[in-house]
Chain A
Amino acid sequence: MRTSLRWAIATGTMAAAGVGAIAAAGGFGAAAPPPVQTAAAGEPVDVGPADLAVRAWTVRDDVATRALEGIDGAQAWLVLAAEVTAATELTTRFPAEALALPADLGLDEPEQVVLLPDLLSGPDLQPGLPSQVLLLWPLPADELPADDTSDELSLDYIRLRLDDSTIDASQVWRADGVAATAAVPRDDAVGDELVEDW
């Protein structure tokens, strides 16, 4: 047998043995997801670009009424009060994709993020500086909670991980599983700051 062929067979055998060893050790299996913690209302959760703590929620139609009228089918706002502290190195914006509401509400990212007490919409978040924000989602009539609905709203904090952009040399935050779940209480005073000025 030619020497080169013996070398090819030896190399192939070594590679196959290596792959087999990795497979036998479970190296090609899906890694177990990190444990999902349960956060109390108002407890900060590290979602990657920020520490996020949702304190309370309510549903009301007496705030941001002009914006509400401009959204087809919207009857009221779902309003969440939260504290957010950017953990990035640069000034950033609220990580809207870091919160997931119950699927039956059919809501994605908040329509508006409002900084308190300034009532500044879509504010910058400075690294390490805690900010109080209100998050507003428009609710259609058929999604308004009935009076006998539980006073707790279940939500998921989504973990975001920095990843290479597929477009250029920058990096982007991508969702990477649930970091924590929480049940936050209803507080109908949430959003009072918006009543007079919005």
Chain B
Amino acid sequence: MARHARRRRPSTIGLVAMTLLAVAAGALASEAESRWPVNGPFVRAGAVGTALDVEPVRVTVHGVRAATVLSDGLDDLDSAGIWIAVDVSAAALTEPATIAEMALRAADGREFRQTDRAPNPMVGGEFDPLITERGEVVFEVPGDVVGEVVLVISPDAPRRTVPRAAAEVPLTVEAPGPDPLVPRARELATEDP
């Protein structure tokens, strides 16, 4: 009868290495959910002048401008930074829908939500299906946020770690002009989105 072959025991170094590996894998697993969330948004990339379907709305970005003073036509609103207005048109696709949030992402990763210092009727207000409305969305950002930025359009659940749709449109912001910026009001658009 054959004897069982004697198993080789791991070396001390191997045992220590395996222990460290197990501890490191555990630490990595515990960190993974918050550092690398699996539920990222479904991002549609677009360009200025191109209609983009991002459920449940269709949006088109027409352009961007910047100024140091914001005006509603009567009063001026100063800022420690600058004002940026993004010209957008939007319509719902199949049933009434809203855009919950828009944000400007600077080159350094900072994201600036639409300002709450001025009315922003293109955000939070309902759009009807296939009825296109157009207006400017206003952002207040530090003065160093000029040049290349990305407009992030989040129709639903912005920033939540749940599957959701978002659109990203790269923009180039010129240096702010001296004239007060009077944002374009939300109104029915004469062109398709």
Contact = CB atoms under 8 A, between A and B. Distances in A.
A169 B33 contact: yes
Interface in B76-100: 77, 79-81
A112 interface: no
B178 interface: no
Interface string A122-138: 01101111110000000
Given A126-B81, A169-B34, A89 B110 contact: yes
A164 B34 contact: yes
Given A89-B110, A90-B113, A126-B141, A169 B37 contact: yes
Contact of A123 (B39, B110, B116): B116
B141 A129 contact: yes
12 contacts: A14-B16, A91-B111, A118-B117, A124-B115, A127-B110, A127-B111, A128-B81, A128-B142, A129-B81, A129-B141, A129-B142, A168-B161
Interface string B138-149: 001110100000
Contacts of A22: none
Contacts of A7: 9
A115 B103 contact: no
A90 B140 CA distance: 13
Interface string A109-152: 00000010010100110111111000000000000000000000
A11 interface: yes
Nearest to A91: B113
Interface of A: 3, 7, 10-11, 14, 89-91, 115, 118, 120, 123-124, 126-131, 164, 168-171
B contacts with A: majority SS: loop
Contacts of B116: 120, 123-124
A14 B113 CA distance: 54
Nearest to A128: B142
Nearest to B32: A169
Q: Which 10 A-B pairs have the closest CB atoms?
A: A91-B113, A128-B142, A127-B110, A124-B116, A129-B81, A90-B111, A169-B33, A169-B161, A130-B80, A164-B34
Given A118-B77, A126-B115, A128-B142, 7 more contacts: A11-B15, A89-B111, A124-B115, A128-B81, A129-B81, A129-B142, A170-B161
A91 B80 contact: no
A124 B113 contact: yes
A11 B141 CA distance: 58
A150 to B, nearest CB: 33
A11 B12 CA distance: 9
Contacts of A11: 15
Nearest to A132: B80
B73 interface: no
A124 B103 CA distance: 13
Contacts of A91: 103, 111-113
Interface string B52-87: 000000000000000000000000010111000000
